[in-house]
Amino acid sequence: MSAPTVDTDVAPSDLAVLSEQLAEAAAAPVVPVAPAEEEAAARPQVPRPDGPIQTVGRRKEAVVRVRLLPGTGQFTLNGRTMDQYFPNKVHQQLIREPFVTLDRGGAYDVIARLGGGGVTGQAGALRLGIARALIELNPDDRPALKRAGFLKRDPRIKERKKYGLKKARKAPQYSKR
């Protein structure tokens, strides 16, 4: 029995060149890749703008534009104070959590424009916007905020209504007879 032959488009002279290139590549020394920390240290720091840090936070239908600037810990939300805009203490606590996690309670003033959605969605969007602004200010805070879950955009949104149903999943009343 003879070995089966295979037709290829590669000439025998090309095979010799390819095998030489493979041998050279195998003989070349292996260069270790620098870890991400060394790359981050080698990366030049981007100068921060002199103005306030501006970020956007979203949750459900709410969109919040946040401006963070050094100050006394004052919140201005659509021209009102936090107590006026969010009278519920649970929402106020939710919004202040990024500052509490980093122990920076009264270090920054927050000016925000809130729109869309409801009160809870706006509070969650504001928290995300504040956390993103704190990271822009100091990237070293990212691990602590990420561990606390403040950097995750909550993907849960209202499910659309389907035709033939009363709501997204509620079916019309069924009558057997």
Domains and CATH numbers, the chain: 53-148 (3.30.230.10)
- What does the pLDDT look like over 84-135, one tens digit per residue? 999 999 999 999 999 999 998 888 999 999 999 999 999 999 999 999 999 9
C-alpha dihedral over 14, 20, 24, 25, to 10 degrees?
A: 40
Residue identified by tokens 């050279």 is 24
pTM of the model: 0.69
Token pair of 160 as six digits: 């659309």
- Do 98 and 145 meet the contact criterion of CB atoms below 8 Å apart? yes
- What does the pLDDT look like over 61-91, one tens digit per residue? 999 999 999 989 899 999 999 999 999 999 9
